[in-house]
Amino acid sequence: MSEMEHINLVETFSEFKEFKNIDRETLMRILEDVFRHMLIKKYGTDENIDIIVNVDKGDLEIWRNREIVADGEIEDENRQIAYSEAIKIEPDFEVGEQVSEPIRMLDFGRREILAIRQNLVAKVQEYEKDNIFRKYKDRIGEIVTGEVYQVWKNEILVLDDEYLELTLPKTEQIPGDFFRKGDSIRAVVSRVDMKKNSPQIILSRTSPVFLERLLEAEVPEVYDGLITIKNIVRVPGERAKIAVESYDDRIDPVGACVGMKGSRIHGIVRELKNENIDVINFTTNPQLYIQRSLSPAKISSITIDEENKRAEVFMKPDQVSLAIGKGGHNIKLAGRLTGYEIDVYRDTDLDYEDVDLQEFNDEIDQWIIDELKSIGCDTAKSVLELDLEELVRRSQLEEETIKEVMRILKAEFE
């Protein structure tokens, strides 16, 4: 068989140079499929046809086998050949023997070759799409680094190192994100969809998983599983809270995540456009968990309603704004982290908010203050806790005087 008769597809089909993400072997397998399909169409069956694939050379040979029958006895042109035809091929053939003949490219008509070509391109594209889909399906939740190829209003087109297209929608970008064509970009693979038969790979920078992976990359103890991330909640670009736990008492999980002088967390904060990251120790004690989750605010007391998953938190007035945080993010995130609906109250009935009676000496005469101190009332609340009758009974003061004193003291706490 001369070289010309081998069906060298790599040369015949210039399209092959375009297929980057497919290896020779797969290509030849697809090719054989396409030819078999065509041969079945042409001859009705491929049972008597051998296809020999040569991967290295990128070609294939096709042989058709027919049985020699006496002239005039042909029942199936595809499987049988007349004796008079067979001896033209080789003079010493006899009836009953097998003839194998090559099928050449020339034996296919122009339309058939066109069909083969189209079929091939379609099959290879399908294979490539499948491949991309499978590859990225396995990479959901992983960080990828790509290059910004195009920036549109609603999304950014990113190319990975194999020039595959990935999409970063506007909704998955951190508010402070700003990218130009050619920038390097890090994001987490959030999902892979099939859209109009093409795989669509959606990236995210706002997903809690992105923060989790960044933390794994910076903190070896998290990567090694010595520290467990119990929960992460984020308002992208504003604030995040991470609850961590370690089963090894020698490891301080918060310290390990933050690093010396914040060295480990700093890189993450920069990547997330200065998102404030609070790392707290996880605990199964809800009161303690809520208290930690509201940091940096300090708490006076908490009452928890387990059934409705609500918590009432009391704190000094100067701590309330800290607890709520800019834009209410701190309290919202604390609620999402702990799973409780948190209500914050200014706390006006706790002792440390009490005021020494001496401080009222500009409004209350000193002798009255001295009299109250003599019956053991030296702070405003200690007076207000007693009722009028008792104060009249125990002190040398007039009812009117006591009423006035109480009015002044009450005003302090309004």
| Structural domain containing residue 263 | 222-346
Point out the domain boundary residue: 204, 234, 252: 204
Out of 187-196, 215-224, 264-273, 346-355, least confident range: 346-355
213 lies in some domain: no
Query: Phi and psi for 40 in degrees, rounded to 5?
Result: -65, -40
Residue 11 and residue 113 in one domain = yes
Beta-carbon count within 10 A of 381 CB: 18
> Do 226 and 334 reside in the same domain of the chain?
yes
Among 292, 327, 346, where does a domain finish? Answer: 346
Task: Write down the pTM of the prediction.
Answer: 0.69
Q: DSSP character for 259? A: -
Judge whether residue 13 has pLDDT over 60: no
Query: Do 111 and 195 lie in a common domain?
Result: no
Query: CA–CA separation, 369 vs 363, rounded Å?
Result: 10
- Is there a domain that residue 212 lies in? no
pLDDT of 287 higher than 60: yes
Confidence of residue 4 (pLDDT cuts 50, 70, 90): very low
Question: b/e string for 188-214 if b means 16 or more Cβ within 10 A?
Answer: bbbebeeeeeebbbbbbbbbbbbbbbb
* Structural domain contains residue 256: yes
Same domain, 110 and 18: yes
pLDDT greater than 50 at residue 356: yes
46 inside domain? yes
Q: Is the pLDDT of residue 106 over 80?
A: no
Establish if 209 belongs to a structural domain: no
Residues 56 and 168 in one domain: no
> In whole angstroms, how large is the CA radius of gyration of the chain?
41
CATH of the domain at 188: 2.40.50.140
Residues 129 and 144 in one domain: no
Report the number of distinct structural domains present in the chain: 4
Same structural domain, 273 and 373 = no
Among 327, 346, 365, give the residue marking a domain's end.
Answer: 346
Do 323 and 257 fall into the same domain?
yes
Which DSSP helix (H) or strand (E) runs through 43? Answer: helix 24-43
Query: At residue 193, does pLDDT exceed 70?
Result: yes
Q: Residue 1's pLDDT is what?
A: 38
**164 and 129 in a common domain:** no
Residue 145 — very low, low, confident or very high, per pLDDT cuts 50/70/90?
Answer: very high
Residue 241 and residue 199 share a domain = no
Output 326 or 142, whichever has higher pLDDT: 142
Q: Are residues 73 and 146 in the same domain?
A: no
For residues 59 and 2, what is the distance between their CA atoms, to the nearest angstrom? 13
Compute the average pLDDT of residues 128-132: 90
Q: Is residue 217 part of a domain?
A: no
Indicate whether 216 belongs to any domain. Answer: no
Structural contact between residues 384 and 358, judged by C-beta atoms closer than 8 angstroms: no
- 334: domain CATH number is 3.30.300.20
38-88 pLDDT per residue, tens:
889 888 888 999 988 887 777 788 899 999 999 988 888 889 999 988 898
- Whether residue 230 lies inside any domain: the answer is yes
Residue 224 has pLDDT above 80, yes or no: yes
Residues 93 and 171 in one domain: no
